[in-house]
């Protein structure tokens, strides 16, 4: 007799979230020009391609930033430094004017807000938006950017963290 194994059921959202909390991720703030400008904290930022240069980030379509990002031609991605916990918290807080709460920014190319003193920033042209569940994956082409010195801010197990140097061997 042949036994047919049933495929496992998809993970429930709480288990899925608990598993992904084990992944350390860099912390970015994505901004877009608007009236008012928008910005949000993202741990989904990643490089996609070198030829052509492409990056991506994900945004929930229920986010207050989504209507502006859905129409934006350009965005800025800021990789935060280890001392920028408060910037990350501000841009992760719902229901506030994030740019009034964080005054350390100025208008950049294409009118996108540029935050002060990230480890690196990129201004990008939005190339494509891909619906994925309750989020949208935004593919963007970097047009300009800069980097400074310093260690990145990380997010792991529900809290912000910094890199620790490895012991010398």
- Per-residue pLDDT of the chain (169 residues), as tens digits, is 666 778 788 888 888 888 888 888 999 999 999 999 999 999 999 999 999 999 999 999 999 999 999 999 999 999 999 999 999 999 999 989 999 999 999 999 999 999 999 999 999 999 999 999 999 999 999 999 999 889 999 999 999 998 877 676 5
Q: Which residues pair with 28 in a beta bridge?
A: 42, 79
Domain ranges (residues) in the chain: 26-148
Q: Do residues 123 and 106 make contact, with C-beta atoms less than 8 angstroms apart?
A: no
**What residues contact residue 11 under an 8 Å CB cut-off, 6+ apart?**
19
User: Could you tell me the sign of the dihedral formed by the alpha carbons of 162, 63, 45, 39, in that order?
Assistant: negative
Alpha helices (H) in the chain, listed in sequence order: 13-20, 66-71, 85-92, 98-101
CATH dotted code for 26-148:
2.30.110.10
Per the CB < 8 A criterion, the answer to whether 151 and 142 are in contact is: no
| pTM value > 0.75 | yes
């Amino acid at each position: 007799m042949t036994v047919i194994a049933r495929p496992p059921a998809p993970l429930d959202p709480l288990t899925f979230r608990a598993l992904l909390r084990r992944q350390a991720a860099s912390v970015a703030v994505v901004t877009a020009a608007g009236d008012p400008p928008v910005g949000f904290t993202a741990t989904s930022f990643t490089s996609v391609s070198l030829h052509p240069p492409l990056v991506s980030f994900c945004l929930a379509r229920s986010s207050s930033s989504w209507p502006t990002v859905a129409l934006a031609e350009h965005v800025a991605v800021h990789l935060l430094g280890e001392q920028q916990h408060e910037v990350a918290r501000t841009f992760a807080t719902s229901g506030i004017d994030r740019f009034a709460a964080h005054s350390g920014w100025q208008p950049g190319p294409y009118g996108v807000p540029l935050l002060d003193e990230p480890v690196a920033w990129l201004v990008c042209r939005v190339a494509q938006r891909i619906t994925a569940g309750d989020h949208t994956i935004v593919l963007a082409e970097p047009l300009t950017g800069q980097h400074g010195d310093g260690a990145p801010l990380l997010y792991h197990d529900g809290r912000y963290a910094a890199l620790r140097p490895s012991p010398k061997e």
